[in-house]
Amino acid sequence: MNKKTSTQIFSLLGLVILFYLLTITAAFILQYKGVEMWRFLMATTALQNIGIFIIPAVITARIFNPGKTLQVMQIDRMPGLAHIGLMILIYMASIPTMSAIVQWNEGLQLPESLSWMRDMEEAAKQATEQLMNISSIGQLITVILIVGVLTGVGEEFLFRGSLQRLMIERNINIHAAVWVTAFIFSAIHMQAFGFVPRMLLGALFGYMVVWSGSLWLAVLAHALNNSLTTLTYYYPSLENAPWIGTEPTTITIIVSAIATLALTFVYYKWVRIKD
Q: Mean per-residue pLDDT for 14-28? A: 95
Quickly state the pLDDT bin for 116 (edges 50, 70, 90): confident
Quickly state the pLDDT bin for 171 (edges 50, 70, 90): confident
CB 14 within 8 A of CB 55: no
Task: Determine which of 21-35, 119-133, 260-274 has the lowest per-residue pLDDT on average.
Answer: 119-133
- Considering the domain boundaries, does residue 85 fall inside one? yes
| Percent of the chain topping pLDDT 70 | 99
Give, in order, the Cα–Cα distances in Å from 233 to each of 31, 98, 241.
26, 17, 13
- Considering the domain boundaries, does residue 133 fall inside one? yes
Residue 53 CA to residue 19 CA, distance in Å, equals: 9
- Considering the domain boundaries, does residue 17 fall inside one? no
DSSP structural state of residue 232 = H
Q: Is the pLDDT of residue 13 over 90?
A: yes
- Considering the domain boundaries, does residue 238 fall inside one? yes
Residue 211 CA to residue 79 CA, distance in Å, equals: 10
Q: Is the pLDDT of residue 118 over 60?
A: yes
Q: Residue 213's domain spans which residues?
A: 76-274
pLDDT tens track for 186-221 = 999 988 889 999 999 999 999 999 999 999 999 999
Q: Is the pLDDT of residue 177 over 70?
A: yes
Phi and psi angles of residue 21, each rounded to the nearest 5 degrees, phi first: -65, -40
- Considering the domain boundaries, does residue 6 fall inside one? no
pLDDT tens track for 68-96 = 999 999 999 999 999 999 999 999 999 99
- Considering the domain boundaries, does residue 130 fall inside one? yes
Domain count, the chain: 1
- Considering the domain boundaries, does residue 84 fall inside one? yes
Quickly state the pLDDT bin for 275 (edges 50, 70, 90): low
- Considering the domain boundaries, does residue 261 fall inside one? yes
Q: Output Rg (C-alpha) for the chain, integer angstroms.
A: 19
∠ CA 275-199-147 to the nearest 5 degrees? 95
Average pLDDT, the chain: 92
pLDDT at 249: 92
Residue 33 CA to residue 232 CA, distance in Å, equals: 32
pLDDT at 1: 45
- Show Cβ contacts of residue 157 under 8 Å, excluding neighbours closer than 6 positions: 53, 54, 57, 58, 73, 75, 215
What is the length of the chain? 275
pLDDT tens track for 236-258 = 888 888 898 888 999 999 999 99
pTM attached to this predicted model: 0.92
